[in-house]
Amino acid sequence: MNPESQLTRYPTRRTLLRTAAVAAVTVPALAGCVTSGSDDEPAAESGVEKTADNPLGVKTDAPLEVVVFKGGYGDDYAIKAEAAYTAKYPQAKVDHKGLQKVGEAMQPRFVGGNPPDVVDNTGAGRLDIGTLVTAGQVSDLADLLDAPSLDQPGKKVRDTLLPGVIDDGTFAGKTVALNFTYTVWGLWYSKSFFASRQWQYPKTWAEMLTLCAEIKKTGVAPWTYQGKYPEYINDPLLTMAAKAGGLDLIKAVDNLQPGAWKQEGLVQAATAFAELAGQGYLMSGSEALSHTESQAAWCQKKAALIPCGSWLESEQKGVAPAGFDMVMGTVPSLTASDKLPGAAIQAASSESFLVPAKAKNVAGGKEYLRYLFSKESATAFAQANSTLPAVEGATDGLTLSSGLGSVRDAVTAAKTDTLTYRFRTWYGPLAKAVDDATGELVNKRISPADWSTRIQKAADALAKDTTVTKYTR
């Protein structure tokens, strides 16, 4: 894959979580128009009786319009689900649109009160979900979640989803989006390269520092990172902090509690990454590198470790040499007294599907999502895209690549010990403030104490801003 095509895919791999700052740009234009129609009643449900065979009351001949973000994953997976839908409802005509600028195309339709029935609200410039929720423009998906799974007997749709998926799409107590892919963040390394040097992936931060010293002696940089996008190195820092301080630490951060960024776990994690930089364990020049450049250097074995989400393997096809065998390692524990186990992972779902409240065929939109989130559909997606879907068991029985296999194993080992921060999707400006501060930290321009003070100041300002809708968890 050439760098230009990878740059095109960059927003798709960040999706709901990685493009928060970009999406925030669309908010003013959208908020001013969409909210103006928020007093209107949403489109009525079909009025068709709900039965065991038709649990959502779909009108069998009602047209269905589906808009899908056609990014790095393409849209074949969505088209296959549409084919399954029409096999069940042959009288229903499906209008499929694969787009790259979903927000730009959909904003006037939401404003005009004629949105499609399903929207994959993903990619750079997507519609701001918080604004849509505040304006009453998205349907509550509770009845879909309580409907029977299409191909897992005895289970409701909600019971087939991986940990955190429902929470990721829940705003103000209502689940209004379902995310189709499942992203896990960790530290990536070449299994074959490590084996050839007899390096062991560390379980604790103390072991990490010992390993880094060993690696540095060989002339290889222990770490590199995507310096132009400091959110990448922010992820392991925040994961370590969450392991140290537990879920209460995350809630305090997301709920904008006073002093949240001064918590011991966060300061300790910042101190650890300051030490990583101070010891010279980051590859020289990493700060100036894009994601494609740093990842290419890592594939060339100029650095042993790189932080990234689980899209990395797919993104590096054509770049990683044969036999590189990349795998993702779980972020090491910070201390022996961490509140979360070492197997805990930062994970969240993305590729966000919603059903507009004013859609003409709300029941059909939800039924389409029941087909999309079936195990058969998710398995086909995993095979085609080397990416973990949000449906539990979708990769069972498949022969997986080294990277996807390591991600699946990490999810299995974590069980219910998954964590995610919500401030990135809720508050784009705060996410940018955190990323910028971490970039300064790992380049030795501010201290860990300055890091926490700087971010706390941004969080406090946000908490006092009455123009921003606040969320809690």
Percent helix, strand and coil across the chain, each to the nearest 5: 45, 15, 40
Q: How far from 190 is each of 6, 92, 232, 290, CA to CA, in Å? A: 20, 49, 18, 20
pLDDT confidence of residue 20: 36
Query: The domain 185-346+423-464: what is its CATH number?
Result: 3.40.190.10
| Domain ranges for the chain | 3-183+347-412, 185-346+423-464
Distance CA 54, CA 38 (A): 30
CB 25 within 8 Å of CB 125: yes
Give the fold, CATH level 3, of 3-183+347-412: D-Maltodextrin-Binding Protein; domain 2 (3.40.190)
Q: Which amino acid is at 397?
A: G
Distance CA 264, CA 258 (A): 14
Contacts of 417 (CB under 8 A, 6+ apart): 340, 341, 343, 344, 345
Same fold yes or no, 3-183+347-412 and 185-346+423-464? yes
pLDDT confidence of residue 469: 86
pTM, two decimal places: 0.82
In a 13 Å sphere around the CA of 217, the CA atoms on its Cβ side amount to 8
Distance CA 147, CA 142 (A): 9
pLDDT in tens, the chain (473 residues): 333 222 233 333 343 334 333 333 343 444 544 444 444 433 446 679 999 999 999 999 999 999 999 987 899 999 999 999 999 999 999 999 999 899 999 999 999 999 999 999 988 788 988 889 989 999 999 999 999 999 999 999 999 999 999 999 998 889 999 999 999 999 999 999 999 999 999 999 999 999 999 999 999 999 999 999 999 999 999 999 999 999 999 999 999 999 999 999 999 999 999 999 999 999 999 999 999 999 999 999 999 999 999 989 988 988 999 999 999 999 999 998 999 999 999 999 989 999 999 999 999 999 999 999 999 999 999 998 888 999 999 999 999 999 999 999 999 999 999 999 999 888 989 999 999 999 999 999 999 999 999 999 999 999 999 999 898 88
CA 349, distance to chain mean position in Å, is 5
CB 427 within 8 Å of CB 420: no
